Structure 1
Amino acid sequence: MSEDRIRNPRLRGLVVSAEEAAAHIHPGETVAMSGFTGSGYPKVVPLALAERMDRCHAAGEGFQIRLLTGASTAPELDGALARVDGIALRLPFQADPEARQRINAGTLEYIDTHLSHVAQHTWFGFYGEVDTAVVEVSAIREDGSLVPSTSVGNNKTWLDLARKVIIEVNDWHPLEVDGMHDVYYGTALPPHRKPIPLIHPDDRIGETSLRCDPAKVVAVVRTHAADRNSPFNAADATSEQIAAHLMDFLQHEVKLGRLPKNLLPLQSGVGNIPNAVLLGLARSGFRDLTAFTEVIQDGMLDLLRDGVLRSASCTGFALSPDANEEFKRNIDFYRERIVMRTQEISNHPELVRRLGCLCMNGMIEADLYGNVNSTHVMGSRIQNGIGGSGDFARNGYLSIFLSPSTAKNGSISSLVPMVSHVDHTEHDVAIIVTEQGVADLRGLSPKQRARALIARCAHPDYRDALQDYFDRALRESYGKHTPHLLGEALSWHQRWLDTGSMRA
């Protein structure tokens, strides 16, 4: 690593090994680490900490921490610490198989919370004091300020509140990311908050680096390690059908005058269906679009490069290896079109409401009345977490949920009589799309929503059974506003647990 990555003399004097840095973290601490959806997380200190925990456990000594991040990270962080039983409590979002297994086994406590809440709840003191922050950056400036890497997340809050700071300076990231970030320092605690002066999705309202009190820094570690770059699968027929239905819907909304020709700022979750949707936007002739979202993934780079997307605001990246190389090759181009913000701004409910975002997120299941479960399989087993979907769904101009109509080779219906866990209530869900079609739930009563969902989104293998349940509920339920047969409402889930299929 060239020395100019650490341009502050005092902090250059604190350069140590990952093992020496990890020695500053002690059992029982609350440790806040950088990282958002596999980007910008510390690469070597968590591994060194996990090795130390493993040695302590082998010697009969307990060693666990409470872990806070921006969102999901990677095997080098969540996986390594979970594998050695080093995490007592985790929040706010995870996607690691090791951590998930322990959460569902009940040996790792997990708080699933809206991503927009994490920074402010930490400031409010709801999670106690932050003992240590471990933050990856791409460079340290002469004045000691920190140039973020490929995510900003909650790093501002971690650096502001932690008693101790460990910095990983990773030269895998190009120096040219400097200038891409927008760190806003105008937030305050209630009742002294002021309006956030962001009017357009691409406005820059903050600073290009993170402030950090040099006196807090106890260690600096040099690294050269890639983000978790997972390749996306090619869009399958189901994803493409979902995208096509959504494109037809958006074009119809434009025709009716409910959306402008360049739509409204886009928010998109991560995965193959969102990537198919982004590709569909280009094929459908939309132009001059903007994005105000959490994560830039492959499809958005394509839209920026092709001129379909004018600008994109985010807090982190989730790029495949090929897309990451494209980003590095043309970073000067992307730096002018991508703004990376703190998580408390990228997910801020008031901004989402005011900008009028079109919010597109995945789901596990929806029920007849439009309640959506996006986190739990069969009601009690966490998948990943709510992430930022609630921040956007509750506040966007349109809240759109996308899913195949079945899962597990058809043994599970994504449309059920009653969801086994509620993340997004019927009041916050406007549009549901499966490969079968689009159900527009706006302006519909509960019974009208049920009819629309059965007719337009249910898989044919389950449509008659859903209709039968609904018809009997209309006749036999305690009330007729939102008819349910309580003895049967969750029977589909129980049938799957008992037999391996929801089919009767």
Structure 2
Amino acid sequence: MEVGELTPEQHAEIARRCRWPDWQSRQMSASQAAELIHDGMTVGMSGFTRAGEAKALPLALVEKARREPFSITLMTGASLGNDLDGQMADAHMLARRMPFQVDPVLRRAINAGEVMFMDQHLSETVELLRNHQLSDMDIAVIEASAITAYGGIVPTTSVGNSASYAILADKVIIELNLESPAALEGLHDIYIPQMRPSRQPIPVVAPDSRIGTPYIPIDPARIAAIVLTRGSDSPSTCTPPDDGTERMAGHLVELLKQEVALGRLTPALLPLQAGIGSMANAVMSGLKEGPFEHLTMYSEVLQDSTFDLLDAGKLDFASGSSITVTEERGRTLWKDLERYRDRLILRPQELSNHPGIVRRLGVIAVNTALEFDIYGNVNSTHVCGTRMMNGIGGSGDFARNAQLSVFITKSLAKGGDISSVVPFASHVDHTEHDVDILVTEHGLADLRGLAPRERAVQVIENCSDPSYRPALRAYFEQACQRGGHTPHCLEQALSWHREVEVKGHMRAMRTLPETSPSLEGAAPSVPDATA
């Protein structure tokens, strides 16, 4: 919400937050600032997992688009909150959007071909922009909690791509959010990698490494507008743990206990990463019940589970690119943020998701799948292979480079009408080469060191729902009769998805005959620590 006429208290608050002496010469309304954005421009906005997005200017752009149609290329860190993506899509002002979204209205426009969506690994967007492989950025719109004496921007609840957008854009519009917690200042660590060639290594060697500045350094001459706002982020829509997610958490805890028993990990494990969403959040919260101490986190989004683990005394430190919490958690967190300040860092997403840092730290990555096939290929993005859901997000950044790459999903979707374990993934975001562990409520498949035929046994017997398991066994046995390193019956491989396209469900696959009670050589879901 835009701030109108200022009260004496608001004048005092602005003086505390905005130390740049020339700020009043750039102050204007959101509607005035919207006039700086024209048809065909490339605009970068702050915002990452519904946190820290500009809140007034997008609405002013929507109103402008309804008066005089225009369209832009919009780049963000990840998803925007407060229904902004949906409102902009509904106003037909988005020609192109990248790199991630979660809005149902925008999703429909993408799948209808009305908005060209570029689904990117979140670590790569600004690298492409920096090297002029994407259109140069005309204007950056950044939400700030403060502006330093020299024009530096202190972000709010996310960093995302804001730092590079502000540095690379021709002009910068700042939304100064007077409602953002004052304790956010000092939480951020802004570091921009050097240009290639001869780039020096990024000196992050632990989740608590501080290597940059607590603000985004820009030339204040490029500040084109300052808009005063008050407003909060949209709360996370994560649902509480249920029986299924608790069982998945239990399987993961047992695996990690085995890894400790085998000497592969210590009780402190290695830095943790959890993807956005209810399942990953619930599974991460389940680590409270494990025998683990002095945990750390090197993730992209810090969710309720992060603060659950901090409050339980299990987690020592957490590094991320945003804070996205539920309404219930937010009621206490934002009032008491000071209590967590020395145990949190927010970084640019090209660092939070940087493949080299992920591999250096040996991250344990837990991300959510839409579906996976019997050989371990994971689909994170496309329903039935064609319809975009949200995007790959950071899952690819972590999956290929983590020490332990885990994908979780419930074995059934749509009330049991669809199996999340299929013969052949309809779209592949993460190949079998990037996946170590698959988990559903039924069990865990450890795919490390296994050939495709061995992986299929593990996935079918440990992860699939019993109602679809006979059909998966039958498919695999028939495929093996035809031979091949990765056996398939190509004419049947996508028949399960064809059922969904035609009938809206896979229920027919539940009635296929079972050729054997179980696959020969099926192994337990967790390896024996005494082996």
Out of 11, 14, 18, the position equivalent to 2:26 is 14
Is residue 300–residue 321 contact of structure 2 (8 Å, CA) maintained in 1?
yes
The 3-state SS of whatever aligns with 2:84 is: helix
Residue aligning to 1:80 = 87
8 Å Cα contact 1:46/1:76 also seen in 2: no
Deviation for aligned residue 1:279 = 2.3
Residues 98-136 of structure 1 deviation map (CA, whole Å, 9 limit, x = unaligned) = 110100011110000100001101101111110000000
- Residue 128 of structure 2 aligns to a residue whose secondary structure is helix
Cα distance per residue 1:321-344 (max 9 Å; x no partner)? 222232222212211000010111
Residues 452 and 485 of structure 2 are in contact (CA less than 8 Å); yes or no, is this contact kept in structure 1? Answer: yes
Question: Residue in 1 aligned with 2:358?
Answer: 352
RMSD value, Cα: 1.0
Per-residue Cα deviation, 1:22-76 (whole angstroms, up to 9, x for no partner): 110001000000000000000000000111001113xxxxx00000000011244
Residue in structure 2 matched with residue 32 of structure 1 by the alignment: 44
- Correspondence list, 1:420-439, <5 A: 420-439=426-445
Tell me the residue number matched to 1:307: 313
Alignment-derived partner of residue 115 in structure 1: 122
AA paired with 1:182? D
Say which SS state the counterpart of residue 98 (structure 1) adopts: helix
Aligned partner of 1:155 among 151, 162, 167: 162
2-structure distance, mates of 1:328, 1:228: 13
1:317 matches 2:319 = no
For 1:490, which of 487, 491, 494 is the aligned residue? 494
**Does residue 270 in structure 1 map to residue 282 in structure 2?**
no
Please give the secondary structure, in 2, of the residue aligned with 1:181: coil
Aligned to 1:243: 249
Partner residue in 1 for 2:520: none
- Cα deviation 1:206-252 (Å, max 9, x = unaligned): 10011121111111000001101134322111111111111111111
User: Counterparts of 1:461-500 in structure 2 under 5 Å?
Assistant: 461-476=467-482, 479-500=483-504
* Distance in 1, Cα, partners of 2:329 & 2:34: 32
The 2-side partners of 1:69 and 1:306 are apart by: 34
Corresponding letter in the other structure for 1:25: I
Letter in 2 for 1:160: I
SS in 1 for 2:260: helix
Q: How many residues align?
A: 496
Aligned pair 1:338/2:344, yes or no?
Answer: yes
- 2:518 is matched with none
Deviation at 1:300, TM superposition (A): 0.6
**Is the Cα–Cα contact under 8 Å of residues 368 and 418 in structure 1 kept in the other structure?**
yes
2:14 counterpart letter in structure 1: E
1:403 aligns with 2:409: yes
Deviation of 1:378 (Å): 0.4
Structure 2 distance, partners of 1:117, 1:3, is 35
Cα distance in 2 for partners of 1:365, 1:35 equals: 28
Q: CA deviation at 1:205?
A: 0.7
Residue aligning to 2:14: 3
**Normalising by the residue count of structure 1, what TM-score does the alignment of the two structures yield?**
0.97
Q: C-alpha distance in 2, partners of 1:232/1:109?
A: 28
Q: Tell me which amino acid in the other structure corresponds to 1:40.
A: G
Is the 8 Å Cα contact of residues 379 and 429 (structure 2) preserved in structure 1? yes
1:92 corresponding residue in structure 2: 99
Q: 1:394 aligns with which of 396, 400, 415?
A: 400
Rounded Cα–Cα distance in structure 1 between residues aligned with 2:90 and 2:299: 32
CA deviations on 1:448-477 (whole Å, 9 max, x unpaired) are 00011011001001100000000001112x
The corresponding residue for 1:171 is: 178
The Cα offsets for residues 156-190 of structure 1, whole Å up to 9 and x where unpaired, read as 110111011100000111111111100013x1222
Choose the corresponding residue for 2:35, options 2, 20, 23.
23
The percentage of aligned residue pairs carrying the same residue is: 48
SS at match of 2:62: helix
CA distance in 1, matches of 2:121, 2:507: 34
Alpha-carbon deviation of 1:13?
Answer: 2.1
Tell me by how many angstroms 1:500 deviates: 2.1
Letter in 2 for 1:396: A
Structure 2 Cα separation of the partners of residues 502 and 236 of structure 1? 24
Shift of 1:299: 1.2
- Give the residue type in structure 2 aligned to 1:121: L
Match of 1:460 among 450, 466, 469: 466
Normalization by structure 2: what TM-score?
Answer: 0.92
| Letter paired with 1:334 | Y
Match of 1:311, SS state, is strand
Maintained 8 Å contact 2:14/2:178: no
Runs of 4 or more above 6 Å deviation: none
* Alignment counterpart, residue 53 of structure 2, candidates 41, 54, 58: 41
Ranges in structure 1 where 5+ consecutive residues have no aligned partner: 58-62
- Asked whether the equivalents of residues 8 and 143 of structure 1 are also in contact (C-alpha less than 8 Å), the reply is yes
Counterpart check, 1:197 vs 2:208 = no
CA distance in 1: counterparts of 2:195 and 2:213, whole angstroms: 20
Structure 2 unaligned spans of 5+: 1-9, 509-531
Q: 2:447 aligns with which of 441, 444, 448?
A: 441
User: 178, 184, 189: which is aligned to 2:191?
Assistant: 184
Q: For residue 423 of structure 1, what is the amino acid of its counterpart?
A: D
1:176 touches 1:331 (CA, 8 Å); kept in 2? yes
Is 1:281 the counterpart of 2:281 in the alignment? no
Q: 2:18 is matched by which residue type in structure 1? A: I
Aligned residue for 2:65? 53
Equivalent residue in structure 2 for 1:501, among 498, 505, 520: 505
- Contact 1:44–1:76 (Cα < 8 Å) also in 2: no
